[in-house]
Structure formats: C-alpha cells, structure tokens
Structure 1
C-alpha cells in the first residue's frame, strides 16, 4: 500500500455506497472531499444511527449540484482520484403516483414506453456550462443522471489532471428496469474511456448491495440471492434476461473497499465485474491484517 496520502473527491459521497467509499478512503489516510446537494449525510438514512460516525470528521462535506459544474469544479483541484457515485434506478413520477394524479398503470406505461434520447452531449458544452436538457421533464432521466452527469464530471476531472476516474456502473439491468437504464451506464463507460484517454477509467459493476443497517436492502438482497442461486443452477441460462437480478448480492462495504483498492492499483482499468470486486475487497482486507 502506498505511503503517500491521496486526495479523493466523491460526487455522491453522502449516499449508501458513496459514504462507505469515503470511510474506507479515510482509513487509508487519504484526504477526502464529498460533494452532494445536501452536504453531510442524514446519517439515519444510510446507517442505523443518527449520530455521525467518528470517521466522518475526517471528510470535508461540500455542497454542489452535479448538473451545475461551476458549483463543484474548484473542489476538483489537486484531486488524484474522482468518483461518480450517483444515478437513478427509475424515472417514474413517484409524486404523481402517490398523490393520485397519475394511475399506477399509466406510470408503468411511461417507464417502459419507447423513449428518445433525453440527454445532452456534455462534450459539446463549454467548460463549466450547466447540463440543461431541452425540457425540465428530462432532467431526471437516465441519459442525464446516469450518463451525462458522469461524462461532465469526468471532463472536469481530466481538466484538473486527475490520474483516475471511477464511475460506479452496474452489473446489469433487470426485468423490472427499462433497457435504457443499463444502456446509459454502458454509454457512460464507453465515452469516458474514449474521450479522456489520459485518465485511467475504472468502472465497478456492482450487483444489488445490502447492509444490516438498512433492513430493506437485506430483504432485497435475499430476494435477489434466490434468483442468483436459480440462475447458477441453470448454468447462467437467464443471464441476459435477469441481469443484476440474477447476480450474487454484495455487502455495500465490500464494494466500497473494492473501489478504493481499484483506485490505488494502477493495473486496474475498465470494467470491474463482481468476482474481481470480491477479490479486490479481499486484497484490501488482507492489507489491514499486515
């Protein structure tokens, strides 16, 4: 393990995975900055307690809007590594469904309806220019949140000479998710790789993640775990259909440890699939035993 402290910036560092990435970076003595719209996490939303953990005092919790680069670009200066740990699973109008303004059937139809590309091309935007889609209804789209925000962040990270950029991708889609979910994830990976060849791109592809501090994630992992066992017993016959729903779930800390280990290992480039995530996390754990 390198004895030189690194500077890490995590966009989405107050989230379920992002906060754990910050935690494991702090444990290595790295300088860590988290950027999110709300700043410091609401701890009871991502852990079992409202009390901030002791390691959080070593993180600089900054406010910034991923769609407005001017709010965070200055925070990337001097960063060795930059992580994009945010995105959306669904585009459904939850408020409309809950309020009764939209029926569940109509909401589901919207989610799975054929869609045009609702994003913008970040590479055509000037440095620091906001990500503004044609319609405000497109702002919370897969294209903008899962793809364009990541490409824009990578663009600014490359401008600041970051040595590595980590985009949290996904193991695959699922029968309950539109194809555009995983399509935009892969488009982000490909564009970051080709547009910024001087910056090492690292793309972890985690499955469903869980932690005992959030019981709902444990329940989800249990359901997915059943699908994973079935898929394994059938020789992976349903891989393309089940996507992440047929993949073995991982503890969120396992993924976070793997991310930090991947960033610190210059040989790790490109997609990082589930078996390699487990290997990297195990490698990181062994280092703490030395």
Structure 2
C-alpha cells in the first residue's frame, strides 16, 4: 500500500513538474496552469506542426515552368473574287479596315490603283474557268466574296456570271470554306429579257450557292451601284446621279410591286454600303443566310457591325 501511494505521489509531482517547465516553440511559451492541461497539450501539438502548417499556407511554387505550345487564335482570311474591280476594290478596303487578312483573285491579278491599301492585299492571278490556275488561292481561306460578272453576248454573260461563279462555289465548298457571299443583281423586269444570259447566269450561281452553302451562303441583290469609279487615271463620280436617285426612290417601295415596270423603281445603292454589308455577311457568325435585296442592303449598312 505504501508503495502504491509513493508511486501516485511521484507521478503527480512529475506532471506538476511538466507544467512548470516553460516549453517554447518559435518563441511562444506554453501555459503552466495545471487547470489547462488539455489546452497546453493542444498548443504543444500545434506548435510541433507549425513548420508543416506554414508550408501549407505558402503559395505553391514551381521550380521550372513547363513549356506548352499554344496555337495563336485563328485569323479570318477573306478571298475576294474580282477584287481589283469597282465593287471588289471597295470590299478589299473595307475588309482590311476590319482587320482581316485579304486576298484577291482575278484574271488581271494586282489592282492598277495606286492607293496605299493595295499593298496589304495578297493578289492572285487566275481564271475561274480554269481551275488549275487558281485553286491554290483558296488555301487557308475562311470566307469568299464574289464580285465576278460581266456583259457581252448571252453565251459569254452566262459563262462569266454563271459558270465561273459556280466553279468557285464548288471549289470553296470542297475546301471547307465557311461562308460564301455572292454579289448578284436585282431583277429589273424587262431588262432581264434584254440581258438574258446575264440574269440566267446570276440565278444559276445563286441556286448553286444556296445548295452548297445552305447555312453560310448570302446573296446580295443590289440594283444600280454608284460611287466613284476609277477608269485608268480617270475618276467617274457616279454619285452625282446615284445619290439623288437613291434619296427619291427609297420612298417609292410600293411602286416596286407594279407588274413589268415595277422593278425600274428599285433605288440605287452606294458601293460603300454594298462593301460594308458584304464583309459583314462574310464574317458575322449570326448574319442570316439567304437573299438580301436592295432594301436589306440599305438597312444592314446602317447597323453597327458586331
């Protein structure tokens, strides 16, 4: 019995002595109050793991950053067919202003204009009626705008306005081009019969486009397109006639429904408006596919681009 009591006294004095010891970690002293034994052991345990907890709180550090090859964001490349013509040159300039990579394909190649923007276009020379001469121009192209057209005999007009554009539409579809915009022409009633090959060619190209590009094909049907046309060193201000006509005829839309002569009241449209809408149609992901008449061209040209 005496031995047991002696051991209990010895044990108690050891615990008491433990409490009286000033244990410190990182300069912090533990409590020596015997009534706070639990808190003392908790603090001691926490202090013993201070070094680990500090490491957890520190931000993760990478000794050497891993090199990852990240592809740059895709760049839209626009190919303008007939980019050195009256409408085509305005489209090229509008597209460059929008920050696009612009290429042009035509039978004569580089534009004869001496404006500074000409140097920023990739010029290709080729004939749409001979695929071997121009097929490479579609490499890397995301959208196409065709301004190809011409006048002459009925067979020639059908070939230039129809066959040439059909060839381009099919080739672009095979290359995976996303959008194709075709500058067609408004109906002019009796004029359609006088220029039969011209309009039959246009409508054949339109049909092919809506077949090959049901979700990314846009057809612009302007009437008379006015603006400053350059012929060599001569500049012809077509706006002198076109501007007042547009102001008057845009308010006579009901007359456009008259049989035979109604289409003659179709208002002219500025070449800048045509270019603006064509580029927007080729690049805006939410631009609706289908046919845009002259009134639609006027409306879209007045809206802000996305």
Query: When the two structures are superposed, what TM-score results if normalisation uses the length of structure 2?
Result: 0.66
Aligned to 1:259: 278
Q: Distance in 2 between matches of 1:75 and 1:15?
A: 18
The 8 Å contact of residues 227 and 246 in structure 1, kept in 2 or not, is answered as no
Q: Write out per-residue CA displacement over residues 40-98 of structure 1, whole angstroms, 9 at most, x where no aligned residue.
A: 2222xxxxxxxx2222221111211121111110110111001211112x325xxxxxx
Q: Distance in 2 between matches of 1:233 and 1:255?
A: 19
Q: 2:249 pairs with 228, 233, 254, which one?
A: 228
Structure number with the bigger relative contact order (C-alpha 8 A, sep ≥ 6) is: 1
Aligned to 1:65: 127
Aligned to 1:74: 136
1:29 equivalenced with 2:92 (yes/no): no
1:215 equivalenced with 2:230 (yes/no): no
Instruction: Structure 2: give runs of 5+ residues left out of the alignment.
Output: 1-72, 230-234
Q: Distance in 1 between matches of 2:80 and 2:105?
A: 6
1:163 CA displacement:
0.2
Q: Distance in 2 between matches of 1:85 and 1:155?
A: 16
Aligned-pair RMSD on alpha carbons?
Answer: 2.7
Aligned ranges 1:130-149 → 2 under 5 Å: 138=155, 141-149=156-164
1:12 equivalenced with 2:82 (yes/no): yes
Q: Write out per-residue CA displacement over residues 270-290 of structure 1, whole angstroms, 9 at most, x where no aligned residue.
A: 111122212322224x66xxx
Q: 2:293 pairs with 273, 277, 281, which one?
A: 273
Q: Write out per-residue CA displacement over residues 93-145 of structure 1, whole angstroms, 9 at most, x where no aligned residue.
A: xxxxxxxxxxxxxxxxxx7xxxxxxxxxxxxxxxxxxxxxxxxxx4xx22211
Aligned to 1:193: 210
Q: Distance in 1 between matches of 2:185 and 2:272?
A: 16
Q: 2:165 pairs with 141, 144, 150, which one?
A: 150
Query: When the two structures are superposed, what TM-score results if normalisation uses the length of structure 1?
Result: 0.69
Aligned to 1:118: none
Aligned to 1:248: 267
The structure with the larger Rg is 2
